[in-house]
Amino acid sequence: MTQLNRRRFLSSGIATAGGGVLGALGLSGIADAAPGGTTGTAGTAGTAATQGAHLPRIDSHEITSGWTFTAADGTTPPGDQVASAQRIAGLKPAVVPGTPLTSMIANGEYPDPLYGHIVTDAVPDTLKDTDYWYRVAFPVPRLVPGQRFWLQFDGINYLGTIWLNGTRVGTIEGAFKRGVFDVTDIIAKADGTAHLAVLIGKLDYADPPALPSYASGVTRGGRNGGETGITLKNGPTFFCTAGWDWLPTIPDRDLGIWQPVTWSTTGQIRLTDVHVDPTLSADLSTADIAIGLTLDSAFGSPRSVVVRGTLDGREFTRTVTVPAGASTVTVTSQDIAGLRLNRPKLWWPNGYGDPHRYRLSIGVESGGQVHDERTVDFGVRRIEYTKPIQSQTGTPTDCLAITVNNQPIMVMGGNWGLDEALKRIPRERLREQVWLHSEANLNLIRNWNGQSSTEDFYEACDEFGILVWQDFFCSTEGPAPANVTRDLDNIRDCIVRFRNHPSVLLWCGGNEGPPPQPLVDGLDALVAELDPKRASLTSSAGDTGKNPIGGYSSGGPYHWVTPSTHFGLNDGTHWPPFHNEVGSYSIPTLEFIKKMIPEASWEHPDDSWADRDVNGNGGNGGGAGYLQLTAERYGELQNLPDFARKSQLMNYECIKAIYEAHAANMESASPGKPYPRTGVIMWMTNPAQPSFVWQMYTHDLEAHSSFYAVQHACRRVNVILNSKTYDVVVANHTRAAVRGTIAVTLYDLDGKAFDNTSWRVGGAAASDHTVIGNLATQLNGAPSDVAFVRLSFKDAHGAELVRNFYWIENPDRAAGFLSLNDVAPAAVSVVADVKHGRDSIELTAEVENIGKAVALMVHLQVYDTRTGERILPATFDDNYLNLVGGESSTVRVRLDTGQVRDHKDIGVRIDGWKIDQRASRLRGHGLAVTFNKAALSTQPPAKTFGG
């Protein structure tokens, strides 16, 4: 029978979700998990362990296929029978890792509820009201004396009871705690096959579904977390699935085995944890590595063992005595000279240097036998968390201000609420999402309430230099966790599990308000015990612990406001300096809007729009208010393409200002401005579902204008126009002062230059902002109510460091941008080429404005010319281009071999604010270049949108 590889299924499933087909599961038999087979991540150990005739050691094998499941409705036999070869009626194929709903979608029971449906209409909310049995059989090796067999669960939601070959093995409580079980005695009698059964227990507390209502203008039911918020009493679970202002109610509440299940073997001694703790000297010249080993010995008495490892190409050994049972051993550079690194390569946040990682391999052996081994990747970096800034009382306060490796870091971050609504998050998809953050020039992700805590997530953040603000499982949107012990057990395991990752910046108790005092005290004690070099914050709203860190808060705004509002809020006169939640509407492209809501709703906003978050948190008067605001600013909305087109400008100007306003006031205080900015984290950057709000790319990983707004605003050297004061500011995040010339040209609505200004920059300070000049007079003299502003900063050799572009209201007669509807369409030339590599192809497009009118927000998409579908993910290194007459830009995008294989006929299509298709010239070498006629069809004979 057909068996399904979970990672391949989920990767392809996301790509085709808009079409309503996620895949199919056939009936399956015994899982393919034989030693050395293809299911796991490795075969037998590749060192001395494979050479020993008496004690073979087998590394982790993931059990991915052969799983079945059923609701535990009272007719299912007890666990000792489910965990056997006995035939059980009613079992259906299961996706593991995955949730019950994921399996039901794969089995064709329900459509993908996130595309073309209201979730609670497409899937009954009763899925949360039952426990679930999962079952699998897998081959196991014949154990030899001294060999131990381990079964590991990396994450279940919410309560798990484990049975193996008729025997109850143990339990797991909470979604973020691992379960590791020594099942040697059971496997020794297994005769080659293990029968595993897992009973997934439902949540202790659950609300009914929170239903969408477009007419209400607010989030589902007017509150987050369900009708009463009681879901939060569960503590460590995906409580946002009860329904939030960015997520519909998920009918199964993401129950299930959501992380991998693996097995492995060791000798008598197991390495249960390896803690790598680097200490980098103040001058960055040396790093001393301390290694803490937690051991579990099955020997009945103390045993002399050799700790053997390699670091940076150097081998080391140390003999220690290990007692019976659990113990810890620490080795340092004082014990082993090879644990001191001279002139170490450092791990840097994105945009400041290479995020280098070292690899430590370490094992324990005795009597010529390797009992266990681990490999740990870690980074060397030095973090300082605060600097004194004048507080509201006039006295200096230790404020949150990050310095890494002696380099001040202006935090430019994004909030993740949940990696994916149904936890369909294979490693490839998650890595792509983190990569998009690095490409957008961000340097931090806040893992909101810990909802996206996986090894894959941290590995990707390590790789791309993304710092992580790690929340835990408490929010002010409902009652406190009922079981403090369970909560702290999950927190403990997360700290131990993820503390080796250099990306982890700090630990935080929860969201927007302090958890109950026992949790505050417990978190502080755990961090002091397990990871004392990292900061521990009480909550995202403030710190009440010992030696508290100040100067940060949440609080929005979460809706669309003018760019000048953001510059006014962040001009150095408002407390606090660090803002970890501020966001706006973020409307997708036309193509994605059509994918995510039913066709009957395209032109008529309704509850389907509300299920895709268009009401946000009620700001702007909800979805209807946002539509009215868009029409007032850019003109009456004629049809859906017109709404999508105007919304890209709304996205761009507001979201760009969120980051630019902070960068333009970073680091240094000035007279009358005592509160310089130290960081901003946008709410949100990653969407858990198809959405109209709070994102910089869409659920299918298409980067729309919000992404490029972030990318352009967060450049490490930037020249910024402050839309409140009209100052021109250099924001320099780098370690060296920058010099050169800033050229400013202002254009009228016809694209004609009406003013030119230039300033010499003698040295814009490192890690700081520098005001260079002011354009208020020139803008007041603009010949029309809207002006275009082009800024170019070139170094002393004439090389352009950065280019920036704005459409700005005339300060004397601010009236929005209705007059943009009257500008002449732009003529563009687009010449595209394709270059084939060994494992990818690169598309290059030369885009030039060949007319006089400004080419505003020129947008390119890669698509399949046979089907018309977008090819995703495919992110150009620049997009939504703004070009004055005669100006050009070259943009690139890379497609991998799988995309090329799946899409034989690739093209690039063009749209923008207003394009003269007749006067434009399109040419492709090896691919088609066309206009996106659907997106450009913004003037129907009669208005069709709304009502």
The set of residues, in sequence order, having a beta carbon less than 8 Å from that of 884 and lying 6+ positions away, is 745, 747, 751, 753, 788, 790, 849, 854, 855
Please report, as a single letter, which amino acid is at residue 535: A
Tokens of 380: 């060397």
pLDDT tens, residue by residue, 219-252 = 998 899 999 999 999 999 999 999 999 999 999 9
> Using 50, 70 and 90 to split pLDDT, how confident is the model at 49?
very low
CA-nearest of 161, 158, 164, 156 to 196 is 164
CA-nearest of 875, 844, 447 to 700 is 875
pLDDT tens, residue by residue, 129-168 = 999 999 999 999 999 999 999 999 999 999 999 999 999 9
- Residue 10 reports pLDDT greater than 50: no
Say whether pTM exceeds 0.85: yes
Residues 721 and 667: beta-carbon distance below 8 Å: no
Rounded Cα distance, 168 and 847, in Å: 65
Instruction: Work out the number of other CB atoms within 10 angstroms of the CB of residue 137.
Output: 23
Tokens of 166: 């008729």
> Using 50, 70 and 90 to split pLDDT, how confident is the model at 53?
very low
- Residue 26 reports pLDDT greater than 50: no
Rounded Cα distance, 918 and 96, in Å: 53
The set of residues, in sequence order, having a beta carbon less than 8 Å from that of 242 and lying 6+ positions away, is 206, 207, 210, 225, 226, 229, 231, 249, 253
pLDDT of residue 54: 53
pLDDT of residue 20: 29
pLDDT of residue 375: 97
pLDDT of residue 453: 96
Q: How far is CA 706 from the centre of its chain?
A: 15
Tokens of 304: 């002399």
Rounded Cα distance, 341 and 945, in Å: 65
Instruction: Work out the number of other CB atoms within 10 angstroms of the CB of residue 95.
Output: 30
pLDDT of residue 38: 30
Average pLDDT, the chain: 93
Per the document, the length of the chain is 947
pLDDT of residue 947: 66
The set of residues, in sequence order, having a beta carbon less than 8 Å from that of 42 and lying 6+ positions away, is 59, 60, 61
pLDDT of residue 368: 86
Residues 607 and 214: beta-carbon distance below 8 Å: yes
pLDDT tens, residue by residue, 315-327 = 999 999 999 999 9
> Using 50, 70 and 90 to split pLDDT, how confident is the model at 35?
very low
CA-nearest of 691, 595, 584, 681 to 629 is 584
- β-bridge pairing 411-416 and 407-409: unpaired
pLDDT tens, residue by residue, 846-892 = 999 999 999 999 999 999 999 999 999 999 999 999 999 999 999 99
Rounded Cα distance, 732 and 408, in Å: 11
- Residue 42 reports pLDDT greater than 50: no
Rounded Cα distance, 146 and 491, in Å: 33
Share of the chain above pLDDT 70, in %: 94
pLDDT tens, residue by residue, 276-303 = 999 999 999 999 999 999 999 999 999 9
C-alpha pair distances (Å), 395 with each of 146, 389, 391, 399: 64, 8, 6, 12
CA atoms in the 13 A half-sphere facing the CB of 913: 28
- Residue 51 reports pLDDT greater than 80: no
Residues 65 and 261: beta-carbon distance below 8 Å: no
Which three-class secondary structure state does DSSP give residue 72?
Answer: strand
Average pLDDT, integer, range 469-482: 95
- Residue 545 reports pLDDT greater than 90: no
Place of tokens 């699935």: 241
pLDDT tens, residue by residue, 737-775 = 999 999 999 999 999 999 999 999 999 999 999 999 999
Residue 683, burial from CB neighbour count under 10 angstroms (0-12, 13-18, 19+) = buried
Give the residue ranges of DSSP H helices in 480-587. 484-498, 517-530, 563-569
Rounded Cα distance, 558 and 218, in Å: 13
Query: Which sign, positive or negative, has the C-alpha torsion 436, 440, 441, 445?
Result: negative
Lowest-confidence range among 189-193, 198-202, 450-454, 838-842? Answer: 838-842
Rounded Cα distance, 25 and 98, in Å: 13
